[in-house]
Chains A and B, each alone.
Chain A
Amino acid sequence: MQLVLEKRPERSTFIAVASPLIAIVLTLVTMAILFAIMGKNPIAALIVYFIDPLTDAYSLQEIAVKATPLVMIAVGLSLCYIANIWNIGAEGQFIAGAVCGSWLAVHTNGTDAGFWVLPVMLLLGAIGGALYALIPAICRVYFGASEILTSLMLVYVADLGMDYLVRGPWRDPKGLNFPTTAEFDPVATVPTLIEGGRLHAGAIITLIVVMLATVLLGRMIMGFEIRLVGAAPRAARFSGFNADRLVLFTFAISGALAGLAGIIEVAGPVGHLQPNISPGYGFTAIIVAFLGRLNPVGILIAGLFLALTFIGGEEAQISMKVPLDLTKVFQGILLFYVLACDSLIIYRIRLLRTIRKPVPAHA
């Protein structure tokens, strides 16, 4: 017997829709096996992970808070990935945006500067993320450096740069030597949507981003250019589109969105700049982008699902004493299955019975 991948005559639309769902089911099965190996009851563990967070208002808000940066970053990344441009460094652009926006918050701290501070911070965050993302883009366009490697490596540069700032120049003098800036002023803080809750205005900005991206990809010539460069680069050149310009454009947009997510996170749920502002949002967003089929609405759903794993992971850590890192294992397995299932859109699996030598049978 032999397993072969056979090319389908046409892409299967059914599989294209079902592929993320199949991937999720396979991931759940794998997780159940892992829980069983760890000596936990798999059913109970999966309920803690995926059902319990949906049952109380606090967790639901918390899911939306976590989904906000994931979706915003993933929408930007999807524009790159559709065009076959590989920005892996959203985590660094997230930090760069957070730092740039925080610069204003730190320097206006305690001066009661006025309502303009937050909008300018958001703008600075987006610009900071975009500029940071343009470094690998420029390296690729002008020097032919692989943007996969350069964008990834710049994550660590951004991380250490921020670390330096909060331990050095920007450290809160009254902060008992903790590596953190002073708490941002109310005018430098993203407002919450529910009195006393954690859900903040960033969620609305994210929804607007999702809508804009849908319009861009579906209705605008720029979106067509992005899709065409990814689908058929030679035809895109023939069409008169400039692939280099598109590398710069998509990196700038995705960097801006990651930077915006960064400053919203710092000026919202966190409230000050400190190390570890992100539990890997920039990397998880890669999974979100693919799980959402590089489609803005799909990404919104996928972002909420991945946020659920963060919250479920925290709950499982508390109630079942499983390590928090299991969440990362979970996310990694999920990405693996999503990419594996995607090949089923173009290929189908067939079982071949082994055929030996040409059998000379007498007719």
Chain B
Amino acid sequence: MLDASSQAGSSRSGPLLSAISISKRYGDFLANDCIDLDLFSSEIHALLGENGAGKSTLVKVMYGLIQPSGGELRWMRQKVVLAGPSEARLLGIAMVFQHFSLFENLTVAENVALGLPPTESFAAISARLEETARVYGLPLEPKREVWRLSVGERQRIEIVRALMQNPKLLILDEPTAVLTPQEADQLFLVLDRLKSEGRALLYISHKLEEVKRLCDTATILRGGKKVATCDPRQETAASLARMMVGADIGEVKAMSGRSVSVPRLVIYKLSLEPDDPHGTHLEEVSLEVRGGEIVGIAGVSGNGQGELFSALSGERLSPAEGAIVIDGQAAGLLGVTERRRMGAAFVPEERLGHGTAPRMKLSENALLTGHAASGMVKKGFIDKPATLTAVDRTTKSFDVRKAKRDPEAVSLSGGNLQKFIVGREILREPGVLVVSQPTWGVDAGAAATIRQALIDLAARGTAVLVVSQDLDELAEIADRIAVMFHGRLSEPLDAAEATRERLGLLMGGANPAKPAGPQEAKHAVGA
């Protein structure tokens, strides 16, 4: 079944897929500006760039999801027009998306069958699924329902589904964003093997170390244009970053000698049933965050971080009053507004639809969290000038770039909107700040601004709790790091002792104090 190598030929015979001068225009905005790219068989090609650099647009053109405004694609030197993904798949192009398209209530095999043409019997598909999974060392149980699976396992389904089409070119969109370091290592083994079979791989990422380690060629995009094509192994992470950003990134400066005061946020034996059937049950989560320190919560997403955030913000109430204590006052049974009035502030993970109402103006989005305690509402009436002033202050302090004074939230780029949301909360000078994925999908410049702002806020005496999947981020800003796994929170480690390996083991469910448990045994099978 693995006949890709025999057909595709070696890289000497010319590129498998060439993008020639691809442009894509959305109104006045040029998402891709005359980009050239050649993909060869037996090669892992990295596509690097900040958010908004045009990576996704380019890949969608190559997968037939959108039509380019200019330029053409050539498949084995012949011009092709891809009217849709099905035509791309016919040629032998497969794609693994960053956001999975799986039906939670169906089994692994059913999900795979849904993505394949209906010419094959379900039994045949199940058999082929097991075979492919076994050959590539991607353990999957075909009969298991998807909602029982971890994010890493879900990604395996997507990869196996793509491999079952026996693609000549496999496109992966930020595949390690959701994985533990150990899971990522397993994935790299699979990718190396696919390369050795003669397939071409296009690997989209902004993790530089990973690209240096894995990829043969890297194409760097910035502002919709191709900046460079290089061999990432010959570059340093810093030189790659410079090409991506176009300037040196300012180092985040930790304020040394921060004075840590009393606990300002206390979580005490918080247990909570999930409110949706596929959620995670929080079990006796306890943590203290003192004024002046930043505590990080690491973990693969879906291990209860979302549930913990809604319990902390008050979107969901705790079973006991004392499960959450803000500045010495029991807050477990109080709602969001009351908690804000106690000096707490919250930044959720989702920018659009949770942190902001996308179609509302920034001034209205300032009111969204400011109505409780910022003097924006007087006797039931909105003080419109006060909301605009809040927008202006945030814009100035956090360098939020926008086309006009008060645009709709959705019109801002991800990084600028995140700066607005974080700034909106920080300018209220909260005593407690809980922030989830503060720099998720944000460009490097904005990420540095946000991290610096969090450090400065802690230096002013605020207790800051950061939930993040990005270990580098936590290493950079957190004083202590705890790990969330299956709804339980580990004891926090001092940042100095929290090595990637220790955190990675905790994120995979292993308790470093105990001998290897069944979780690790499972990983051993996979590797």
Contact = CB atoms under 8 A, between A and B. Distances in A.
A221 B348 contact: no
Nearest to B376: A221
Given A220-B381, A231-B360, A235-B357, A359 B335 contact: no
B346 A232 contact: no
Interface in B292-323: 313-315
A235 B87 contact: no
Contact of B355 (A227, A235, A236, A362): A235
B81 A358 contact: yes
Interface residues on B, range: 35 or more
A224 B383 CA distance: 12
A361 B354 contact: no
A63 B482 CA distance: 70
B273 to A, nearest CB: 18
B262 interface: no
B81 A238 contact: no
Contacts of B87: 357-358
A9 B29 CA distance: 11
B26 A238 contact: no
Interface residues of A, number: 29
A30 interface: no
Interface string A236-273: 11111010000000000000000000000000000000
A182 to B, nearest CB: 43
A221 to B, nearest CB: 5
Given A219-B381, A358-B81, A232 B357 contact: yes
B92 to A, nearest CB: 11
Contacts of B411: 10
A363 B78 contact: yes
Interface stretch (B163-171, B202-210, B361-369): B361-369
A228 B368 contact: yes
B61 to A, nearest CB: 13
A221 B357 contact: no
A228 B360 contact: yes
A1 interface: no
A196 interface: no
Contact of B353 (A10, A221, A234, A356): A234
B74 to A, nearest CB: 7
B78 A228 contact: no
B377 interface: yes
Contacts of B368: 228, 235, 238-239
A359 B336 contact: no
Given A9-B26, A240-B337, A361 B360 contact: no
Contacts of A219: 381-382, 384
B337 A11 contact: no
Task: Pick the most buried of A219, A242, A358: most chain B CB atoms within 10 A of its CB.
Answer: A358
Contacts of A240: 314, 335-337, 340, 371-372
A90 B381 CA distance: 28
B87 to A, nearest CB: 5
A358 B381 contact: no
A160 interface: no
A231 B81 contact: no
B358 interface: yes
A360 B356 CA distance: 47
Task: Pick the most buried of B314, B336, B372: most chain A CB atoms within 10 A of its CB.
Answer: B336
Task: Pick the most buried of A10, A224, A355, A361: most chain B CB atoms within 10 A of its CB.
Answer: A224
Contact of A238 (B77, B313, B367): B313
A222 interface: yes
B356 A235 contact: yes
A221 B78 contact: no
Contacts of B337: 240
B340 A222 contact: no
B27 interface: yes
Contacts of A220: 380-382
Contacts of B79: 359-363
A260 B78 CA distance: 73
B287 to A, nearest CB: 22
Nearest to A227: B360
Given A239-B369, A240-B335, A240-B336, A232 B353 contact: yes
Contacts of A222: 380
Given A9-B27, A232-B353, A358-B91, A238 B348 contact: yes
B255 interface: no
A132 to B, nearest CB: 27
B523 interface: no
A29 to B, nearest CB: 32
B82 interface: yes
A358 B78 CA distance: 10
Nearest to B88: A358
Contacts of A362: 78-79
A227 B79 CA distance: 50
A237 B315 contact: yes
B90 interface: yes
B359 interface: yes
Contact of B346 (A9, A224, A238): A238
A220 B383 CA distance: 9
B83 interface: yes
A355 B82 CA distance: 9
Contact of B358 (A221, A232, A238, A363): A232
A363 B18 CA distance: 13
Interface string A327-363: 0000000000000000000000000000111111111
Interface string B38-75: 00000000000000000000000000000000000011
Contacts of A238: 313, 315, 336, 346, 348, 354-355, 368-369
A358 B82 contact: yes
B80 interface: yes
Contacts of B356: 232, 235
A224 B381 CA distance: 10
A355 B354 contact: no
Contacts of B358: 231-232
Interface string B324-357: 0000000000011100100000101010011111
7 contacts: A220-B380, A220-B382, A232-B359, A238-B313, A238-B336, A363-B77, A363-B79
Interface of B: 26-27, 74-75, 77-83, 87, 90-91, 313-315, 335-337, 340, 346, 348, 350, 353-360, 364, 367-369, 371-372, 377, 380-382, 384, 411
Given A235-B356, A238-B336, 20 more contacts: A11-B359, A219-B381, A219-B384, A221-B371, A228-B357, A228-B360, A228-B368, A231-B357, A231-B359, A232-B353, A237-B315, A238-B315, A238-B346, A239-B369, A239-B371, A358-B87, A359-B79, A359-B80, A359-B81, A361-B79
Interface of A: 9-11, 219-222, 224, 227-228, 231-232, 234-240, 242, 355-363
